[in-house]
Amino acid sequence: MSFMKTIARVMATTALVAAGSAAMAAEIAVIGGSNDDAFWNIIKKGIDDATPAVEANGGSVTYLRLVNYDNFAPDVVQLIRTAISMEVDGLVIPNWVPEAEDPAIKEAIAAGITVILMNAGGADKAIELGAINYVGSDEYVAGVAGGEYFGTAGKKNILCVNTLPGAANTEARCKGVIEGVTAAGGTGVQLPLPTTSFGDATAVAEAIKAELLKDPTIDGVITISAGDADSAAIAVAQAGQATPAMLGSFDMNQAGLDRIQAGTQAFAIDQQPYLQSFLAVSLLASSIDFGTDLPVFPVLTGPGIVDASNIEATLAGVKLGAR
Amino acid sequence: MLSISFGGLLRRPEAGAALGLVAVLIFFAIFGGVTFLKPGGMASWLNVAANLGVIAIPLGLLMIAGELDISVGAMVPFGAMTVAVISGHYGLSIWLGVAVALSFGVIVGLVNGFLIIKTAVPSLIVTLGSLFAVQGIVLGLTVLITKSTSVALATEGPAKAIFGDFVMGGQLQVMVLWWMGLTALYIFFVHFSPFGNWIFAMGGDKVSARNAGIPTDRLTMILFVLSSTSAAFVGMCQAILYNSAQVAGGQSFIFNSIIAVVVGGVLLTGGFGSVVGIFFGTVTFAIVTQGIYYTDFDRNWSSLIIGVLLLGAVLMNNTFRHMALAYTPKKGGK
Amino acid sequence: MSAPILALRGVNKSFGPIDVLHDITLEVRAGQVLCLLGDNGAGKSTLIKIMSGVHQPSSGVIEIDGVAVGLPAPRAAAENGIATVHQFGGTFPLMSIGRSFFVGVEPTKGWGPFKVYDRKRANDIAVKAVRDFGITRIDDGDRLVGGLSGGERQSLAIARAVHFGARVLILDEPTAALGVKQATHVLRIVNEAKKRGLAVVFITHQVMHAMAVGDHFAVLIRGAVAADFHKGEKSREEITDLMAGGASMASLEAEIEGYMASHDGHPPPPAH
């Protein structure tokens, strides 16, 4: 056993030396959101954890972050150009603003940089631009998973609370939920809340409660954000149904995780940002260094369902900054 | 005699608001059915009205005095986040969190008032600046301290009961009691104590008011402190009630409270209005926004219905104000 | 003869290099109406501001009851019983008559923190004060000031000033924005104030209004008192000519007629 280990270590060292001198060791740049944004700090944890493997092969990883979102599109494009001028081999980039970013991404690919789209963009965009893959979540697929979760639990009448109606991603989430639960034999409707209630926890709570009072057969409620679930939890508790409606949410916050632990919320749908950056960096490095080609396309990191069965592990992950 | 006193009622600032309230009540009693008027349904709009009303009244007084405070939109999350960070994240006493949240309200109010008095820049601009500044402080500090944009807060004991719980059969937020109590206090101060007269005079003609010996600067400070502290109070109570605070949110309070105040018969240019009117305006707004959920209307039309009903209420107000101004008893006008 | 309530002696006022008032000497006596006449820009409003403590004279003396005092602030003027009523009455259009009347000095009843505004007393006093000036149309203290006519608003403001102890009333163009009937109202009130022994400074450029109530006239031209005379000493035409800067109105009229005759009956084009 120890002999095998020694051999492995010698081989690794040799590989490191060899790779270090080779021109093909992957120099990778990752572009991400600002320091203030908790989401992008989880992304950073994924990058940090993937970096040792890249460095072991003689490469490097640079995380280029936006300072703020005040001058969003030009700043993102500037970061792409920075990556090109650094003559990196690979680029991981969220396609937030296609119309602004697409020309710059095409330029990067033309300059011989291998690109993976992460977090935003989707599979079709990856093909269109010539990126080798898309690593991220799909709001619709996440919604379907939520709908199926309700269906599996025997829930028949689901309310999807949308506090930002009209936004493409929230609409896709609710559409997924409704189709997911319909496929499982139930029904679902979207509750679009007017802008007058956005950000007013009481207005959101009372709107949900009103729907529950009006239609007591609603047995499942899901919100498009973690903050709205705080309101929904009160609404469900207040509605006085014989069996309180099952509560789920997209994304998660501490209060939501506490509720899952306490049993007053069933589940949260997580897009698992840690996996997005961890996998994107690893896949890209491996492709550049070793020519690997992952047949899975796109790579979906979500939906990850957090419920009573995995809440303890999730909370441990939160402590480590990975969830 | 009866007709005279009825005419007198119609000329009061709250007449339009009261009739508007009755109109929307009838509207939703017809289209919303009985659930809407059952205790659960009533609690639904009373809760919304209470949270809005605690902010709307001081904001309305500012508007009567000819000023505006839109920084309340940032003070709601600021109050919520302050108590959540102090008592949730750091686990310190809830009373400390409450005290600090309210003090921040006082401080922001003093800064707003001071800037407006000293610079003579319109309060819309000053408070627009403090709106963004406070939003920035909330986001920056929260992320710096907690590495997240959402902070959990678990409260028990008397603080929960006083600030963020349900009373009377578990349907009404305790905020409703605060709202009723504060409204009564405001009615006393604005319509019965001499203090109220000063507010109206300030909004009518600031220079004349100052010449008449009214301490307009001090009054301006007090009103700004009232509005921002009230907003911090509502945010704080919501955090205690919902066991969680978010960095974002609260902005809807800006427009919602201005709408409630205007529907309540306060003139946008100042000098005219009443606390009772603002109270009615707030209830009207809450009924209109919550009543939709008791009807069978397609939810996609909610905003349209809200808009039309509110426009109707404001037009009704305008009509009554013109009646009040045109009133000349000798000529038998109405 | 007793000392005048308010007197200006050799008052000059300049704003930086611009001299606005030169060597103004005026006396205002109890029970008299001093009419300040002058065209726009003659310095009337600066003079009012000096009398009401808003501006300080660059040199010269202000006397009250024969004693030289300064009026460092509007409050000092108010304390000496000098009240200024502006063109639109300086009242609050959307407040009730009673509340507007007592702004800043609200009557209360009760005690301690439960002191409440005494609406009935305020309304009664306000209505009575206005009615004593002959404005009988006002009988409800809850009516909004904005619903009153311009003349009634002026009357309310004057009644308010008198009620709170004014000895000198400075009326800044009170009739300028009013119709004939309304202006008559105000003139009647000026007479009433005079009868009660108040000193009135009546600023106007309407000679007819001035002649109806004035005891003493001062014509202001380019910041100086061009003429100072008593009632009956000059005719309307003479005063009008004085105000127009000395150019005789008759010759001006002749000039215009001449112009029209030589231009096929068209009036001259406006100057600007």
pLDDT band at A54 (very low <50, low <70, confident <90, very high): very high
Overall average pLDDT of the B52-81 stretch: 94
DSSP, residue by residue, A3-52: HHHHHHHHHHHHHHHHHHHSTTSPEEEEEE--TT-HHHHHHHHHHHHHHH
Residue with more model confidence, B272 or A141: A141
DSSP H or E segment with residue A64: strand A60-65
Residue A5 has pLDDT above 80, yes or no: no
The residue with tokens 């609710």 is A174
**Where residue A276 falls among pLDDT bands split at 50, 70, 90?**
very high
Question: Is B143 at the interface with chain A, CB within 8 A?
Answer: yes
- Supply the pTM of this predicted model: 0.77
Cross-chain residue pair A200–B256, CB shorter than 8 Å = yes
* B294 shares contact with chain A (CB less than 8 Å): yes
Touch test B–C: 3 Cβ pairs or more under 8 Å: yes
Token pair, residue A191, equals 């509750």
Instruction: List the alpha helices (DSSP H) in chain B.
Output: 2-10, 15-32, 39-64, 72-83, 94-119, 123-146, 158-163, 174-187, 194-204, 206-211, 216-242, 252-263, 275-291, 302-326
pLDDT block averages, 10 residues each, chain C of length 272: 82 86 88 86 84 86 86 80 75 81 81 78 87 79 81 84 87 80 84 88 85 88 83 79 63 67 63 54
Q: Do A200 and B249 touch (CB under 8 A)?
A: yes
- pLDDT score at B333: 36
Whether B175 has its CB under 8 Å from any CB of chain A: the answer is: yes
Question: Out of A205, A213, A227, whose CB is closest to B40?
Answer: A213
Is a pLDDT exceeding 70 seen at residue A11? no
Q: What is the pLDDT of residue C15?
A: 85
Backbone angles phi, psi at A136, to 5 degrees: 175, -160
Q: At what angle do helices B72-83 and B39-64 cross, to 10 degrees?
A: 120
Is the minimum CB–CB distance between B293 and chain A shorter than 8 Å? Answer: yes
- What single DSSP character describes residue B35? G
Q: Which of residues 19-58 of B touch C (CB under 8 A)?
A: none
For residue C261, the surrounding DSSP H or E stretch is helix C249-262
* Closest chain A CA to residue B145: A36
How high is the pLDDT of residue B4? 44
pLDDT greater at residue A249 or residue C115: A249
- The amino acid that residue A174 corresponds to is C
Better-predicted residue by pLDDT, C66 or A38: C66
CA distance B228 to B69: 8
Confidence of residue A111 (pLDDT cuts 50, 70, 90): very high
* Residue among B75, B146, B252 with most chain A CBs within 10 A, to mutate: B252
Report the residue from C95, C117, C147 with minimal CB separation from B201.
C95
Give the pLDDT band (50/70/90) at residue A20. very low
The answer to whether C198 touches C162, Cβ cutoff 8 Å, is yes
Q: Please judge whether B44 and A213 are an interchain contact, meaning their C-beta atoms are less than 8 angstroms apart.
A: yes
Mean of pLDDT values over A112-122: 91
- Please, which residues have CB within 8 angstroms of residue B216's CB and are 6 or more apart in sequence? B198, B202, B206, B209, B210
Q: Is the pLDDT of residue A94 over 70?
A: yes
CB B59 within 8 A of CB B257: yes
Backbone angles phi, psi at C28, to 5 degrees: -120, 120
Residues within 8 A of A (CB atoms), B 69-88 only: 76-77
pLDDT at B8 > cutoff 70: no
Question: Residue C104 and residue B208: Cβ atoms within 8 Å?
Answer: no
- pLDDT tens sequence across A194-231: 877 877 889 999 999 989 988 899 999 999 988 899 99
Residue type, A29: A
Q: At what angle do helices B72-83 and B216-242 cross, to 10 degrees?
A: 50
Task: Say if CB A234 and CB B242 are below 8 A apart.
Answer: yes
Are C116 and B8 within 8 A, CB to CB?
no
What pLDDT is attached to residue B329? 54
* Average pLDDT of chain A to the nearest whole number: 88
As a whole number of angstroms, the distance between CA A106 and CA B276 comes to: 63
CA B133 → CA B137, B245, B249, distances in Å? 6, 19, 15
Contact between C104 and B325 using a beta-carbon 8 Å cutoff = no
Q: Among residues B195, B192, B183, B202, which one has the least CA distance to residue B275? A: B183
Decide if A248 contacts A146 (C-beta within 8 A). yes
Helix (H, G, I), strand (E, B) or coil at C58: coil
Summarize pLDDT for A181-195 with one digit per residue, the tens: 999 999 999 999 887
By CB neighbour count within 10 A (0-12 exposed, 13-18 middle, 19+ buried), where does B235 fall? buried
| pLDDT of residue A261 exceeding 90 | yes
Question: What SS3 state is found at B116?
Answer: helix
Angle at B49 between CA B44 and CA B51, to 5 degrees: 105
Do the chains C and A touch each other, judged by at least 3 C-beta pairs below 8 angstroms? no
pLDDT band at A14 (very low <50, low <70, confident <90, very high): very low
pLDDT at A122 over 90: no
Is the model more confident about A24 or about C226?
C226
Widest CA span of chain B, in angstroms?
Answer: 70
User: Tokens at residue C151, please?
Assistant: 């003349």
Answer whether B212 sits within 8 Å of C91, measured CB to CB. Answer: no
pLDDT of residue A8: 54
**C34, containing H or E segment:** strand C33-38
